[in-house]
Amino acid sequence: MDKIHLNQMEFWGYHGLFPEENKLGQRFYVDAQLELDLKPAAASDDMTKSIDYGAVYEVTKTVVEGEAYALVETVAEKLAGKLLQEFSILEACHLKVYKPDPPIPGHYKSVAIEISRSRHS
């Protein structure tokens, strides 16, 4: 299956278990790997046979910067569902949602949730 990658999309969201996270917000990054057949788009040079990257960004922004959830797992699941709903040509999506500044002790670059969802599962 062919793939479109959108890497390190950056957003400001209010997700987390702690009241400060829900009030102050923080950065989130999303990597999206979209699976679909790109051969018809490539053969015809017709954007309607592919997925508009800007539209994917806007859907992602709506989910990540929208309703606040306690878990990043929920953010990822909601985003996968919305992408599959919005883009009928999309067969599957693999998402990685990064939370670079979680309020937990330790030194690391980020924590992340990675999920894969498809129309057939």
pLDDT, one tens digit per residue, over 51-98 is 999 999 999 999 999 999 999 999 999 999 999 999 999 999 999 999
Range from 37-41, 89-93, 99-103 carrying the lowest mean pLDDT: 99-103
Q: What percent of the chain has pLDDT over 70?
A: 99
Euclidean distance between CA atoms 79 and 49, whole angstroms? 22
Q: How confident is the model at residue 120 (pLDDT cuts 50, 70, 90)?
A: confident
Q: Give the count of beta carbons closer than 10 Å to the beta carbon of residue 68.
A: 15
Please give the domain boundaries of the chain with CATH numbers for all domains: 2-118 (3.30.1130.10)
Provide the pLDDT for residue 121.
Answer: 64
Cα dihedral angle (43, 34, 26, 62), rounded to 10 degrees? 70
Residues taking part in catalysis: 99
Exposure string for 69-95, b = 16+ CB within 10 A, e = fewer = beebeebbbbbbebbbeebeebebbbb
CB 29 within 8 A of CB 35: no
